[in-house]
């Protein structure tokens, strides 16, 4: 049905325009490389497009694209030829116009610390603290138990704390391993 196809394409374009930024930034936090982040975003949205006829609810779409992104990333980190997980002395960084020296330093330090966190723990932290998911939603996105989410969160935060020391906000640690329940 051509008109139906056109409508699907239009709806997908609207959804892509609305969510591209969030997905791309999440991907960047995961992998630390904008080009790789584009690859991950592309793979996630292609999967969404291939299933566009099945998923209509915006909430379900967000969860679906998140799951696609996470699984694509974790899958790639397990591939030998795509081992981009590497620790570099200095994070490549671009000034964003209104950066001051303090914020740049904080951002670079946090990005370096995030790179020290293993991929799965890092994804857990991103789900919990960047995307604002609770333990249950994070468990669904990662395809694991809620207990695993809590332990991965604790381990990830411990790694961050080890690198950042006092620079990591302490109150966050109190909430980190709690679920929404």
Partner 1 sequence: MTQLRDLFEEAANSAPPPSRLVADELYAAGRRRRRRRTVANYAAAVALVMTAGTGIAALAGHERSVSGEVGVDQKQSSPGALPHHGERIQWSGAADARHLYLSMSTQLSCSKEPCAKSIVQLVASDDGGRTWSDRGGPINAASFEVLGPGRLLAVLHDSPGPKWTLQTSTDGGRTWHRLDQAPPVAAVPTGSVAVCWPESNKAPSPCRMHALDPATRRIAPLTSQPALTLSDDLRIRESAGRLWASGVDPATGRPGVAVSRDAGRSWSTQVFADAPACSRAGCPAPYLAAGNGPIGYAVVLGAQQRVVYRYEENDGQGAGGWQRVPGAGSVPSDRLPGGVQSFVTADGTHVLFQVVTQSDQDVDAHRWWRAGADGTYEAVEPVGLPDTVNPIRRTSNGWFYTHSYLDKVVYGSTDGWHWSPVARGS
In the complex, the residues that contact partner 1 under the rule CB under 8 A are: 1-4, 8-9, 12-13, 16-17, 20, 24-26, 28-29, 34, 37-38, 41-42, 45-53, 93-97, 103, 106-107, 110-111, 114, 125-126, 129-130, 132, 168-169, 171-172, 175-176
Nearer Cβ to partner 1 (44/139)? 44
Tokens for 12? 């997908």
Instruction: Decide whether 89 or 174 has the Cβ nearer to partner 1.
Output: 174
CB of 67 to partner 1, least distance (A): 15
Closer by beta carbon to partner 1, 57 or else 80: 57
Return all residues near 78 (Cβ < 8 A) that are at least 6 apart: none
Three-state SS at 88 = coil
CB 52 → partner 1: shortest distance, Å?
7
Decide if 150 contacts 135 (C-beta within 8 A). Answer: yes
**Minimum distance from CB of 154 to partner 1 (Å)?**
14
CB 118 within 8 A of CB 176: no
From the list 121, 48, 31, the residue with the least C-alpha distance to 82 is 31
If the CB atoms of residues 30 and 139 are measured against partner 1, the closer one turns out to be: 30
- The DSSP call for residue 81 is G
The two tokens of residue 153 are: 């969160």
* Min separation Cβ 141 and partner 1, Å: 16
Whether the CA torsion 29, 34, 40, 42 is positive or negative: it is: positive
Indicate the residue among 54 and 80 with the shorter CB distance to partner 1: 54
């Amino acid at each position: 049905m051509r008109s139906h196809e056109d409508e699907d394409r239009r709806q997908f374009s609207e959804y892509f325009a609305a969510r591209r930024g969030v997905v791309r930034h999440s991907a960047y936090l995961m992998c630390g490389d904008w080009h790789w982040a584009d690859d991950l975003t592309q793979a996630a949205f292609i999967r969404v497009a291939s299933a566009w006829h099945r998923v209509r609810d915006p909430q379900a779409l967000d969860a679906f694209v998140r799951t696609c992104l996470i699984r694509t990333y974790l899958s790639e980190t397990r591939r030998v030829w795509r081992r981009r997980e590497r620790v570099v002395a200095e994070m490549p960084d671009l000034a964003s116009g209104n950066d001051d020296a303090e914020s740049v330093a904080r951002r670079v330090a946090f990005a370096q610390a995030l790179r020290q966190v293993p991929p799965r723990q890092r994804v857990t932290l991103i789900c919990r603290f960047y995307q604002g998911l609770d333990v249950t939603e994070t468990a669904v996105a990662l395809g694991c138990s809620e207990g695993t989410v809590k332990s991965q969160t604790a381990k990830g935060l411990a790694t961050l704390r080890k690198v950042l020391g006092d620079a990591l906000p302490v109150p966050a640690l109190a909430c980190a391993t709690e679920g929404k329940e």
